Amino acid sequence: MSTPDEVVRAMCRSWSDPDTDPDRISAYFAEDAVYQNIPMEPIVGRAAIRDFIAEFRTAFDAIHIDIHHQVAAGAVVMNERTDTLRGADRVTPLRVMGFFEVTDGAISIWRDYFDMAAINRAFDG
């Protein structure tokens, strides 16, 4: 079985695949996982997370996640990273702090903290 650190790294890498598949990404999550972009409302359940990923992914031509630092202690993983969003002739680097809990080899909690102004610029074109 993969360690929590390996699970989070693999999930982050899967976003950078040019043929990103929401089913493949959501497979890293527990059935009852909770994903939240703070301060937005949480998304609960693997199916809802998959739907969010599918919708979010259509807004961009590519998404690349570059982990700068990652630490793991037991089931908890935290990383500092840049998520680069490419689309509509625009490149938006988004600095993110991520918190994850991994239970039985699957992500059960994922919370991301970032500057909402940067994400709004990516969507406002």
80: domain CATH number is 3.10.450.50
Instruction: With a cut of 80, say whether residue 1 has pLDDT above it.
Output: no
Length of the chain: 125
- Contact at 8 Å (CB) between 48 and 58? no
Options 17, 83, 89, 104, the catalytic residue: 83
Higher pLDDT, 125 or 32: 32
pTM of this structure: 0.92
Residue 125 pLDDT grade (very low, low, confident, very high; cuts 50, 70, 90) = low
Range of 26's domain?
A: 4-124
59-to-23, 43, 101, 113, 120 alpha-carbon distances in Å = 17, 18, 27, 20, 12
Options 21, 23, 89, 112, the catalytic residue: 112
> 23 catalytic, yes or no?
no
- Contact at 8 Å (CB) between 90 and 99? no
Our count of domains for the chain comes to: 1
> 32 catalytic, yes or no?
no
